[in-house]
Structure 1
Amino acid sequence: MSACAPAPAQSPTRSSSLRAHGPAALVGDTPVLWVGEPFAPAGRGFWAKLEGHNPGGIKDRTALFMVERARARGDLLPGGRIVESTSGTLGLGLALAGIVFGHPVTVVTDPGMEPMVSGLLTAYGADVQTVARPHPAGGWQQARRDRVSELLAVCPDAWCPDQYHNPDNVAAYAGLAHELVAQLGRVDALVVSVGTGGHSAGVASVLRGSFPALKVVGVDTTGSTIFGQEAAPRLMRGLGSSIYPRNVDYTLFDEVHWVAAGEAVWSARALARSRYATGGWSVGAVALVARHLAATLPAGARIAAVFPDGPHRYAGTVFDDAWCRERRLLGCAPAEVPDRISHPGERTVTRWTKCATVLDPAPAGADAAGPAGAAR
């Protein structure tokens, strides 16, 4: 550990002699890693919660929990099929839950899913269905959800977790919050990516209960509608949305940052070179914002940043020079500080930008599950 790293509280860790009698036992108790210089300024840094140490990533937690709760309520019958839309990580978690609880799994995705993830899903026994074209208003995300609805209509015993609006997706992350408390003793600031809103709401609500002064910073992608920006084509997967997920708890956030794809690539690669532990789009975006907080919050502030997954699935995208060069994502070093806007609707942002006004952008009475504009 760096001499500049604040000493965390003693935390329970997995013993090298741990014996797991089932794959679900491998989920949770993920480590935290101090990320200091050279990625962060000298004498500053943050703690990264490495959710890539779960078998499939952070959404193993919610997949297992949502399935378990649905079975307990009788919403998911024994042997019933699980059907859900996913860009990848939840699909891996549902494949795990299907094996643990004995359910066939169908995941609906789009052509942007990495071949590695698609191959793993198939290896784990999941049925992978890929939509052919985006919805004219709601993009790939709405096209996937429409296909899920079609599958549910012809398979009446099937069940959809509906990760965007299912409150169990929020409750599933209480354990992650308790792990952070045990590992760090206190948390002064939390940096979380926001997609379905599940882990941001689940972790932040529990930590805010223990630390009322906690600063919660949401990280979104440019082109996402979650925090009130206009929809636009999105390259990054795993964060952002083209619908209004009801699991996003806007009351918890002190500020939001939007990060562009090239900036996330720069950050993920810089993190890999300096700390070895890295990940894809969400990790790059979250690390960039956490680095900024480490430089600007008072010395000694204990910052926790949730890294949702690891780097392996991004070998052909974020960490592939040819792929990034084709999309003009190389050489996009971010500014030292983000742009600022005073209101989410002030202007469309195309680079790293922060806003301290956080509002629910869904129109009153609107269908939260409906499309929010042209987006990928």
Structure 2
Amino acid sequence: MSAPDLLALVGRTPVTYVQVPLPYRHGGFWAKVEYASPGGMKARAAVAMLTGARARGELRPGAPVVESTSGTLGVGLALAGQALGHPVHLVVDRELESSMRALLRAYGARLEIVERPDPVGGWQRARLDRLAAVRATLPGAWWPDQYHNPDNATGYAGLADELARQVDGVDVLVCSVGTGGHSAGVARALRRHWPRLRLVGVDTVGSTIFGQPARPRLMRGLGSSIHPGNVDHAAFDEVHWVGPGEAVESCRRLAQYAFVTGGWSTGATARVAAWVARTEPGARVLAVFPDGPHRYLDSIYDDGWCARHGLLGPTRGHPVEIPHPWAVEVTRWSRCRTVLAPAATGACTPPVPAGTVVPGRAARVPA
């Protein structure tokens, strides 16, 4: 059974102008509010990946779709699956919020829950290993492979087209980075309108996407323990790694003073966009807010949870500047204007113990 009319729910999200101090006053920036679409931002990618696979004959009518997700893509796949008539099987992990599990099941998705992270690749590697086992039990199942599927990025061309109609111009685009799909897709399309547009990537501490060593991460929805092929490293002009404390403070300030807020990705992106707007007066800054606040009511917006994780104290209002991605293991908000793919940084080499300095690398610096 399919419901193609659901595809009309994807996209057409609003923009809002943000002037809330984050934490200092700034010149303001535009934010694309993607959670205003029922399927969320990643419904764009989900629909593009499924329709592309159907057109190529890779996904047969009625065949199951199996994917690994930390939550947000799962909602998009649930919408795309209902619209196009495909049962959806999602491999998640025990860190996924109970509310998100309940929501995904309500949307008809079948969940496989991983209980332990991989010792090296973390939850992502463990989910992908389970995904392979699940696929083997489902004849004809198709795996979107969101990390390496080029249709992921293609799905965000519509978002860029909307932005080109909604704002007069963009000098700096600020995007969080996980699979790399929306940063690559939006920047590529917007540069056809504004060729000199600069792209600023927002990652989380403990993520390996831009050459840092993979560590356990509190923040979900951005960052990675693997190297997604969809990340277009050459497209970025700089990258910021943001810590959970800065993201929490930004989310809460947005909620209290701008009403439009979200989760880890939104808080981190807003923090960096505000800093760019403050340090580059006159620049037309645009940020993409990927998610809303609802799945984070028991974490980011819960005082007790934040206190247990040490996230309610004051945070610094500017990033540490590092010269290249492997100069130091970042533990709080940091910025780098040299962006290289991990293979070029030597990021796959084993990390050295804290306090050890080796040629070309620096010791880990505490927060």
Task: Settle same-fold status: TM greater than 0.5.
Answer: yes
Q: In structure 1, which of residues 182, 185, 190 is the aligned counterpart of residue 173 of structure 2?
A: 190
In the aligned structure 1, how far is the partner of 2:350 from the partner of 2:297?
A: 31
One-letter amino acid matched to 2:288: V
Is 1:314 matched with 2:308? no
TM-superposed CA distance for 1:262, in Å, is 1.3
Is 1:358 matched with 2:339? yes
Residue in structure 2 matched with residue 219 of structure 1 by the alignment: 202
In the aligned structure 2, how far is the partner of 1:335 from the partner of 1:318?
A: 18
Q: In structure 2, which of residues 1, 9, 18 is the aligned counterpart of residue 35 of structure 1?
A: 18
Is 1:171 matched with 2:154? yes
Which consecutive aligned stretches of 4+ in structure 1 deviate over 6 angstroms post-superposition? 370-373
Q: In the TM superposition, what are the counterparts of 1:207-286 in structure 2 within 5 Å?
A: 207-286=190-269
TM-superposed CA distance for 1:371, in Å, is 12
1:288–1:42 distance in 2 versus 1, CA, 3 Å: closer
In the aligned structure 1, how far is the partner of 2:72 from the partner of 2:12?
A: 18
Contact kept, 8 Å, 1:98 with 1:105, in 2: the verdict is yes
For residue 22 of structure 1, give the secondary structure of its aligned residue in structure 2: helix
Is 1:46 matched with 2:29? yes
- Normalising by structure 2, report the TM-score: 0.91
- Residue by residue over 1:57-104, the C-alpha shift from the partner in whole angstroms, topping out at 9 and shown as x without a partner, is 110111111111111111111110000000001000111111101111
In the aligned structure 2, how far is the partner of 1:50 from the partner of 1:199?
A: 14
For residue 362 of structure 1, give the secondary structure of its aligned residue in structure 2: helix
For residue 329 of structure 1, give the secondary structure of its aligned residue in structure 2: coil
In the aligned structure 2, how far is the partner of 1:335 from the partner of 1:235?
A: 19
| More off after superposition, 136-145 vs 39-48 | 39-48
Residue in structure 2 matched with residue 5 of structure 1 by the alignment: none
Count of residue pairs the alignment pairs up: 349
Residue in structure 1 matched with residue 8 of structure 2 by the alignment: 25
1:123–1:183 distance in 2 versus 1, CA, 3 Å: same
Contact kept, 8 Å, 2:27 with 2:281, in 1: the verdict is no
TM-superposed CA distance for 1:155, in Å, is 2.0
Contact kept, 8 Å, 1:78 with 1:102, in 2: the verdict is yes
TM-superposed CA distance for 1:334, in Å, is 2.9
Q: In structure 2, which of residues 319, 328, 347 is the aligned counterpart of residue 347 of structure 1?
A: 328
Q: In the TM superposition, what are the counterparts of 1:320-335 in structure 2 within 5 Å?
A: 320-331=302-313, 333-335=314-316
- Residue by residue over 1:94-153, the C-alpha shift from the partner in whole angstroms, topping out at 9 and shown as x without a partner, is 111111011111000101111111101101111011111111211110000011111122
TM-superposed CA distance for 1:43, in Å, is 6.7
Residue in structure 1 matched with residue 121 of structure 2 by the alignment: 138
Task: State percent identity of aligned pairs.
Answer: 58
In the aligned structure 1, how far is the partner of 2:26 from the partner of 2:246?
A: 24
TM-superposed CA distance for 1:372, in Å, is 9.4
In the aligned structure 2, how far is the partner of 1:371 from the partner of 1:33?
A: 43
For residue 106 of structure 1, give the secondary structure of its aligned residue in structure 2: strand
In the aligned structure 2, how far is the partner of 1:125 from the partner of 1:283?
A: 27
Is 1:287 matched with 2:273? no
In the aligned structure 1, how far is the partner of 2:113 from the partner of 2:74?
A: 13
In the aligned structure 2, how far is the partner of 1:22 from the partner of 1:371?
A: 49
| Structure 1 unaligned residues grouped into runs of 5+ | 1-19
For residue 23 of structure 1, give the secondary structure of its aligned residue in structure 2: helix
In the aligned structure 1, how far is the partner of 2:207 from the partner of 2:53?
A: 30
One-letter amino acid matched to 1:310: G
Residue in structure 1 matched with residue 286 of structure 2 by the alignment: 304
- Residue by residue over 1:159-215, the C-alpha shift from the partner in whole angstroms, topping out at 9 and shown as x without a partner, is 000000000001100111111111002111100000000000000111122212111
1:363–1:130 distance in 2 versus 1, CA, 3 Å: farther
RMSD: 2.0
Contact kept, 8 Å, 1:254 with 1:358, in 2: the verdict is yes
